[in-house]
Each structure stands twice: as C-alpha cells, then as structure tokens.
Amino acid sequence: MKIHEYQGKELFRQAGVPVLEGIVARSGDEAAAAYEKLGGAIAVVKAQIHAGGRGKGNVIDNPNQKGVVLAKSADEARAAAEGLLGKKLVTIQTGPEGQTVNQVFVEAGCDIARELYLGIVLDRAAAKPVLMVSTEGGMEIEKVAEETPELIHKAHFDPAVGLEAFQVRKLCKKLGITGNAAKAAMRFMPAMCRFYVDYDCELAEINPLVITGDDQMIALDAKITFDNNALFRHKELLELRDLGEEEPSEVRASNAGLSYVKLEGNIGCLVNGAGLAMSTMDIIKYCGGQPANFLDVGGGANAEQVTEAFRILLSDPNVKGVLVNIFGGIARCTTIAGALIEASKTVGFTVPLVVRLEGTEVEEGRKMLAESDVDIISAVDITDAAKKIVAAAAEVA
C-alpha cells in the first residue's frame, strides 16, 4: 500500500524524522490561506499523487504547469493550486494518461545547501533491510544505480538492532558530511531505519534528503510503500489508503480476496495458486501471447470469488481470450466449473475460453462443463491450452 507525501511526512514527524511545516489544500482559497498561515516568504505547492517525478512532470496539455511550484505570495499559491487541482499530472512514473490531482501540499520553503538521496528497501539476498544513501539527491536513483553505482553507499542493518552509530559515521564520511550536519545524521538515519521496521515498510525513500544552510537534515520528499501482508498489525494505516490512486480492478479484486495484478497483454488468466499463475503466464508468453493479468483465486476459492474474478477479467476491454488453468486441491474442480457456468449466465463470455482442469473432482467438473451450454475450447494439457488460447485471441484481435 502506498500513501501520499503529506501523510508520510506526518508519520515521519511522529517518528522524530525532521520535516517542514505543511498544510493540505483542496482548493485555491485553501492554498492561499495555507501560504498565509505558514507565514514565510516562500512556500512550495506540491501535487499529491502516488507517483514521483512531480517536479519535472507537468499537467496534461500544459507544459508550464509543473507538479511542484514555488510560490512567493498567497496569490501565487492559489494560482499554482488551481493549475493543479482536478487536472491530470503526467510524470515519468504515471504513464502517458497521468494521474488526477485531488489535493496539494503547501509546504514551507527550504534553504537547500545540499540535496542527498536516502532509501531503505528489503535486500532479500541478505535477508535484511538495507539503507542506501547517495550524494546524487534529486536525481532518478535508478539512473544513478545504472550509470554510477559507486555513488550509492549501502548499510545493511539488523531489524532488531537498527542502524548503529559506526554505520552512520561511515556513511557521513562517504557523503562528505561533517560538523553539525553529521550530528543531525546521527539522529536522522537511525530514526528512519526504525521507522522502516516499525511500520513494516517495503520501501521508504527520501529524495531529496536535504542539508539546510544551517546544517539541519530534513526530509523534503517522502515515498513510502507498506507491506500489505503486515497491514493487519497497523490498523491505523488503513485510514491512509487512497483508493482513488489505485487501479480500480485491483481494488475490486482485493475486496473479493483475490490476488490480481493488471498487465498489458490480451489473454486473461484465471488460476489457483501463485506459482501456477506465474508458470501459466510464462507458458502463454512462450507460445507467443501476452497475459492481460496475474490472477490467483487462491487455494480455497469459493463460487462467489471465482464469479467475481471472471467479472473483473471480462471487464478489461483488452482481454481477447480467457485461459482458465485450475489444479483442484482444496478448491475443487466442481466449484470452478460451477462458477464458470454461473459467470457465463450472469456475465457472458464474449471472447474465446480455454479451460484446463485437473485434480480434485476433475471428472465431475468436466462433466458439468460438458453438459452446460458454455462454449469452451477443450485442451488436453497446459501447453495445448496455451497454444489454443493464443491462436484464438489472435483471431479476435
């Protein structure tokens, strides 16, 4: 689950990670009032969307309206907010269709002496979280990693111990941070690592992390992704979820307890088990096709879930064919067959359908399908099924 910058900064503040004063605004007037309330000469109006690159991105059809705008008066803050609110902002992370801005964050201006990068992710190979810092703040870190990896400095830390003082000292040396700024880092970096662990983050990224003219260290940006599997431990975070920022079909799927990820291809897949779903997608690609989604209905899927899964698949206009690949374990083939028949009645299959069933109650399941009037292309095994759906979908498209 992702959250907005302003929400992340509020959590940072509570965790003792320094941020600037800021106020959320949902209209031009609110932005102007926020500017007055902050009371400084300079404020920054920042579009709030779940994507980075806002500073360089701009509103669709208006290259002059950037996603992060400096305002030197209440009127400038109002104009910036009005130029962003309700508009679609396109950045390198949103795709060409952009993302609608529903709120802006009006933040106090900052006297930036240096822009650094700080990010924490889980290093699966090391089985530990890793803190990464770089002098190349404000840049795309993926680019830095590719072109000048030596400029990214890493420190793995034990989640139970946190980041240790000697590790901070080493990183400061590499970043050329001394004096009071180094003292600030001694508080800032361990606090961020604690934050990452305490909230079960997948990613916590501050780009840029700034050192101010008077040697303070401040998080000027906040990009946080929480591990969904740990959200049950953080009920308070669920309130921060912004469904408007998420892919609607994925929200629908998660409400039905399905694991669904929308992809770019044209073959809808309905599979039980994540491993089987991955190999089904592989074999579709191997046979020259492109999967339209990853969909795992789970081991214990019931008829309602499977029917909803078909609805989600078929509501994607890109889907030109559906491949059902079920290995009945706890979920019986008869359940899937029943849901398939139900879905064909309530949703209707307008595209070719290939079904491969194996496992628990397979004979009964196949019999149900054979006796129904659902139009199915039969397949002997998964390779045969993949070949057939790729061919059938190509004819539709």
Active-site choice (117, 196, 199, 260): 117
Catalytic residue among 205, 260, 308, 361: 205
Q: Does 207 count as an annotated binding residue? A: yes
Span near ligand ADP by CB under 6 A; candidates 50-58, 71-79, 183-191, 354-362 = 50-58
Q: Is 44 in the site for ligand ADP (CB under 6 A)?
A: yes
Q: Which residue(s) pair with 115 in the sheet?
A: 210
The kind and range of the H/E element at 107 are: strand 104-108
Residue 328 binds to ligand ADP (criterion: CB under 6 A): no
- Is 205 a known active-site residue? yes
Task: Please say whether the beta carbons of 2 and 77 come within 8 A.
Answer: no
Output the six-digit token pair for 58. Answer: 């701009």
DSSP letter for each residue of 182-200? HHHHHHHHHHHHHHHHHTT
> Choosing among Mg ion, ligand ADP, none, which partner's interface includes residue 54 (Cβ < 5 to 8 Å by kind)?
ligand ADP
- If one asks whether residue 52 binds ligand ADP (CB under 6 A), the answer comes out as yes
d(CA 210, CA 205): 13
**Spatial contact of 223 and 5, defined as CB atoms under 8 Å apart:** yes
CB 357 within 8 A of CB 363: no
Contact flag: residue 207 with Mg ion (CB under 5 A): yes
From 16-24, 34-42, 183-191, 213-221, span contacting Mg ion (CB under 5 A): 213-221
Cβ-based burial of 122 (10 A; exposed 0-12, middle 13-18, buried ≥19):
middle
Q: How far is the CB of 46 from ligand ADP (least distance, A)?
A: 6
Residue 55 labeled ligand binder:
yes
91 interacts with Mg ion by CB under 5 A: no
Is 261 within 8 Å of 294 (Cβ atoms)?
yes
Q: Which of 18, 138, 159, 257 binds ligand ADP (CB under 6 A)?
A: 138
User: Exactly one of 5, 107, 205, 221 binds Mg ion (CB under 5 A); which one?
Assistant: 221
With CB atoms as reference, the residue minimizing the distance to Mg ion is 221
Q: Is 359 in the site for ligand ADP (CB under 6 A)?
A: no
Distance CA 310, CA 73 (A): 53
**Could you confirm whether 117 is annotated as catalytic?**
yes
Query: Annotation-wise, does 110 bind a ligand?
Result: yes
Q: Which does 68 bind (CB under 5 to 8 A by kind): Mg ion, ligand ADP, none?
A: ligand ADP
Which residue from 18, 53, 159, 359 is in contact with ligand ADP, where contact means CB under 6 A? 53
Give the contact letters, 221-260, x = binds to ligand ADP (CB under 6 A), - = no: x---------------------------------------
* Residues 365, 367: Cα–Cα separation, whole Å: 5
How is residue 251 written in tokens? 């929200």
Asked if 167 and 157 touch (Cβ cutoff 8 Å), the reply is: yes
Q: Which is nearer to ligand ADP, 107 or 296 (CB)?
A: 107
CB atoms within 10 A of CB 214: 9
The verdict on 76 binding ligand ADP (CB under 6 A) reads no
Interstrand relation of 321-328 and 353-359 (parallel, antiparallel or unpaired): parallel
Annotated ligand binding at 107? The verdict is: yes
Please give the C-alpha separations between residue 11 and each of 7, 43, 236, 240, in angstroms, as whole numbers: 6, 21, 11, 11
* Entry field: residues in the chain: 397
Rounded CA gap, 18 and 138, in Å?
Answer: 18
Name the residue with the smallest CB distance to ligand ADP. Answer: 55
CA–CA separation, 215 and 264 (whole Å) = 47
Residue 231 touches which of ligand ADP, Mg ion, none (Cβ within 5-8 Å per kind): none
Residue 208: is the preceding peptide bond cis (ω within 30°)? yes
Stretch that binds ligand ADP, among 7-15, 30-38, 51-59, 349-357 (CB under 6 A): 51-59
Q: Is the CB of 136 or the CB of 296 nearer to ligand ADP? A: 136
Q: At which residue do the structure tokens 């028949």 appear?
A: 341
Residue ranges binding ligand ADP (CB under 6 A): 20, 44, 46, 52-55, 68, 107, 109-110, 115, 138, 207-208, 220-221
Active site residues: 117, 205
Q: Residue positions in the annotated binding site for Mg(2+)?
A: 207, 221
Residue ranges binding Mg ion (CB under 5 A): 207, 221
Q: Residue positions in the annotated binding site for substrate?
A: 272, 329-331
